[in-house]
Structure 1
Amino acid sequence: MAAQPINDESDSDDYPDVPAVPAGLRIPPPHRRAPVHQNPVAASGRAPAVWLLGAHGRSGAGTLAHIWAPAADSGGGWPAADRYPGVVVVARTDFDGLSAAQDLVLQAAAGLIGEAILLGTALVPYAPGRLPKSLRRKAEIVAAASPALWQIPWVEDLPLHPRGEL
């Protein structure tokens, strides 16, 4: 007997909370996904027009949120309950950063981000200069899976200033 597809309409009624996942899509395991915020992240004041989701610690999301207006750090999760749910994933261009960004982009492609909307990925250089070939290839994989890609340039003086001065 041949295997039957599980994503037909009759099966989706049996499991209403499980989104249909495109065939062949590698879904990252739960421990490598960002949580989906069920409550608004924006506590008070004007809600940001775009959220920055750091793919990993020291991704640069906090610094970019401080510099870019009207952006804000999403607190490590998908802002699914906020008025403006657009998200840019932020990652360093080292191996771990690109791997973490790939996981989040695949999480979004699988529909596991609630009402949040992935706008694209911003890559922050881990060092000045051109990326090694293996990292360029990994960045290309992330770019292919992301709706848009922004490469942030290396800013020589940025590490020399406290965040409050930026």
Structure 2
Amino acid sequence: MTDHDNTVDAAPMPAAPMSADVVSWQPPRYWRCDTLTSGHELPPLFALVGAAGGVGTTTLARMWGPAADSETRWPAHPETTQWCVLVARLSMAGIDDAAARLRDDVRPEGLDVFGIVWTPPRPGRIPKEVHRYASTVGELVDHCWRVAWIEDLMLARRDALAPWLPGSLPDSKHTDLAAGPPLAVCTTGADIVDTVTHRYRRTT
């Protein structure tokens, strides 16, 4: 045998153990990690995030062309818009939901939740106590909008709703949802788009 034959190969060094935090980390269940789309052949300018289920994010995203429906999860994909509007019912329970999401959730880095859209729980007058509470929670964000009850939505199917697109507003007497949302919904969408545009300009 040669000297080489008498050598013993050193055992490979074991790999350094990975940190338990690295192995176990998963995005929170209320993060959405897929890419969002607007559904209207437009890149989504902002995302609608529900404070809870059933608050109207899907219908609003259908009516606002530049919006994406993120359901009840914060958008976390790097190619998805980081501009978010929280959507909540204008009721005591709905405002509680909004407050909890804004105060307690861990949100993806860089996410900008710049406003709340309050949607009506029913037609008719909203008690003043609810408005006062909404005003208090609304101070957690920079902007708040209200969407009125739209009776015609009761008979409308989502795939029959035509979207509002920036640069256009319907006549004040317009009521055909198949041709576009009511004027008040369009003006709210336009105000959100303007808000996002101004915030973007301040960060660039």
Q: What is the TM-score of this pair, normalised by structure 2?
A: 0.57
After superposition, the CA RMSD in angstroms is 2.4
| CA distance in structure 1 between the partners assigned to 2:31 and 2:126 by the alignment | 32
Give how far 1:97 is off.
1.3
Counterpart for residue 158 of structure 2: 163
1:52 and 2:14 correspond: no
Preserved CA contact (<8 Å) 1:34 1:76: no
Preserved CA contact (<8 Å) 1:34 1:78: no
1:90 and 2:84 correspond: no
Query: Runs (4+) of structure 1 moved beyond 6 Å?
Result: none
Give how far 1:34 is off.
7.0
1:124 and 2:119 correspond: yes
Q: Which amino acid aligns with 1:113?
A: R
- Answer 1 or 2: higher relative contact order, Cα 8 Å, separation at least 6: 1
| CA distance in structure 2 between the partners assigned to 1:51 and 1:34 by the alignment | 17
Counterpart for residue 23 of structure 1: none
Q: Deviation string for 1:11-53 (max 9, x for gaps)?
A: xxxxxx9xxxxxxxxxxxxxxx97233x343279754111000
Q: Deviation string for 1:45-101 (max 9, x for gaps)?
A: 754111000111110111001111111111321113243211100011122211111
Q: Which amino acid aligns with 1:70?
A: P
| Counterparts in 2 of 1:95 and 1:41: CA distance versus 1, 3 Å | farther
Preserved CA contact (<8 Å) 1:88 1:119: yes
Unmatched segments (≥5 aa) in structure 1: 1-16, 18-32
1:64 and 2:35 correspond: no
Preserved CA contact (<8 Å) 1:40 1:82: no
| CA distance in structure 2 between the partners assigned to 1:59 and 1:157 by the alignment | 17
Preserved CA contact (<8 Å) 2:53 2:72: no
Unmatched segments (≥5 aa) in structure 2: 1-20, 22-27, 162-204
Percent identity of equivalent pairs: 33
| Counterparts in 2 of 1:125 and 1:75: CA distance versus 1, 3 Å | closer
Residue of structure 1 aligned with 2:96, choices 70, 75, 99: 99
Residue of structure 2 aligned with 1:147, choices 142, 145, 168: 142
Higher alpha-carbon Rg? 2
What is the count of residue pairs matched by the alignment? 131
